[in-house]
Amino acid sequence: MVAVEILLQVFIIFVAAKVAGEVAMRLGVPVVVGELLVGVAIGPYALGWAGTPGAGLVAVFHDERLATEVLHGALDVLAQLGVVILLFVVGLETHLHDVLRVGGRAAAVALGGVLLPLALGYGFGLAVGETWASALFLGAALVATSVGITARVLGEMGQLRTTAARIVLGAAVIDDVLGILVLSIVAGLVQGGLSLLGVAILAAEAAGFTAFVALVGRHVIRQYDVHLERLRLPDASFAVALAVCLGLAALAGLVGLAGIIGAFLAGVIFAEARDHESLERQAHTLYDVLVPFFFVVSGMRVDPALLAQPQIAIFAGVVALLAVVGKVVGCGLASLGLDGRTIAVVAVGMVPRGEVGLVVAGIGRSAGAISDAVFAVIAIMSIVTALIVPPVLSRLLRPPKEPPGASG
């Protein structure tokens, strides 16, 4: 078995992810932070337990570079399937009618929280001398809120039915869609060169792809269960959903968009299926197995020595600050007119970044648009924003000075 060494690294990554995730959860820290940090720790720049081929693998291929590329290819396909499943599950949990119902306020908050961080990231990138492509990826990585962290804090404090919670959750969904569209446009621009026409074409393509898939998908899905029964395929529905997910991801990639937009749309489509609960359960099993590979492999690409360089540490600090300021100001402004406490909860609740930002960074890195240093900076930014929000949010959410039982 050539694969013993690769199997061993798969085992190491899986166990490291699960242990780190569990420790993170008990410390009240997001699981993704644990997985990223453990990836840095076991990766080639630190302990070297994963990501570099051992003597056995090199001997099999008689060539160190070949062995390294094969190992990376093997770990990458797991990480890529992980991110496809991640976005599929995000899509499955996105119900279009909920998005449409939360209305104008959430849309405004989402838009404010997308435009300002994008502009700040892009402007700062250019200001410090990054290429336009790198600056664009930096901006795009600041766009999407990772709402899981906020949702958990809100849930733990019994605040999920407040106005603030509804706005944050609604805005975060719209924000995901916008974040993925921005990424698609940015990825296309970097391949094709920066031009106004290019932006327009890619925006139209991304919007067209989304609208086409959503419309056709919704039409098809309405008759989905009927078809499954007619075709005598009751057990096949998860296989069908996964096939559509992989197919749309590959299709999106082939037409020059980010593959994850296809996976996300597949999730959105199947969220309308009658058996979506069983789909979600099975998708979560796959999620638990594959998604950690994405975050650990992302962490493995971060060279902690980079952060010992004062220049890069300062860069990371400023980007994290811009990430916070961008959401707090952008979403805060869009919430004006609500009461002060709601504005504060919305503004802080939208701050955490996570999965989608890392996906953006990973795509920018494999496209050669961003350097290892910028990749590390984006990873640090995700970790910092994910870490600071829970304590601040808990403080903001402490029971107000109303008599007990007065809240509905």
- Residue numbers of the site for a copy of itself (CB under 8 A)? 1-4, 6-8, 10-11, 14-15, 18, 22, 61, 65-66, 69-78, 80-81, 84, 187, 233, 236, 238-240, 242-243, 246-247, 249-250, 253-254, 258-259, 282, 285-286, 288-289, 363, 366-367
Q: Which is nearer to a copy of itself, 7 or 160 (CB)?
A: 7
Contact yes or no for 102/170 (Cβ under 8 A): yes
C-alpha–C-alpha distance, residues 88 and 326, integer Å: 27
What does each C-alpha distance from 207 to 51, 202, 397 come to in angstroms?
37, 8, 37
Per-residue buried b or exposed e for 263-284, using 16+ beta carbons within 10 Å of the residue's own CB: bbbbbbbbbbbeebeebbeebe
Contact yes or no for 262/249 (Cβ under 8 A): yes
Pick the closest to residue 264 from 350, 345, 197, 177 (CA basis): 177
Q: Which is nearer to a copy of itself, 12 or 111 (CB)?
A: 12
- The CB-of-302 to a copy of itself minimum distance in angstroms stands at 19
- The CB-of-233 to a copy of itself minimum distance in angstroms stands at 7
- The CB-of-260 to a copy of itself minimum distance in angstroms stands at 9
Q: Which is nearer to a copy of itself, 229 or 288 (CB)?
A: 288
Q: Which is nearer to a copy of itself, 2 or 207 (CB)?
A: 2
- The CB-of-396 to a copy of itself minimum distance in angstroms stands at 28
Tell me the torsion sign for CA atoms 207, 209, 212, 218. negative
- The CB-of-104 to a copy of itself minimum distance in angstroms stands at 35
Q: Which is nearer to a copy of itself, 309 or 366 (CB)?
A: 366
The three-class DSSP label of residue 247 is helix
Q: Which is nearer to a copy of itself, 15 or 100 (CB)?
A: 15
- CB-neighbour burial class of residue 387 (10 A; exposed 0-12, middle 13-18, buried 19+): middle
Contact yes or no for 253/267 (Cβ under 8 A): no
User: Which residues are CB-contacts of 26 (< 8 A; sequence separation ≥ 6)?
Assistant: none
C-alpha–C-alpha distance, residues 384 and 317, integer Å: 9
- The CB-of-258 to a copy of itself minimum distance in angstroms stands at 7
CA 153 from centroid of its chain's CA atoms: 19
- The CB-of-213 to a copy of itself minimum distance in angstroms stands at 16
- The CB-of-39 to a copy of itself minimum distance in angstroms stands at 17
Q: Which is nearer to a copy of itself, 171 or 283 (CB)?
A: 283
Q: Which is nearer to a copy of itself, 203 or 286 (CB)?
A: 286
Q: Which is nearer to a copy of itself, 107 or 291 (CB)?
A: 291
- The CB-of-61 to a copy of itself minimum distance in angstroms stands at 7
Q: Which is nearer to a copy of itself, 39 or 170 (CB)?
A: 39
Find residue 154's DSSP bridge partners: none
Q: Which is nearer to a copy of itself, 216 or 239 (CB)?
A: 239
- Residue 376 CB: number of other CB atoms within 10 A? 25
Pick the closest to residue 391 from 348, 355, 356 (CA basis): 348
Contact yes or no for 252/259 (Cβ under 8 A): yes
- The CB-of-76 to a copy of itself minimum distance in angstroms stands at 6
Name the percent of the chain in helix, strand, coil, to the closest 5.
80, 0, 20
C-alpha–C-alpha distance, residues 297 and 277, integer Å: 30
- The CB-of-284 to a copy of itself minimum distance in angstroms stands at 9
- Residue 245 CB: number of other CB atoms within 10 A? 26
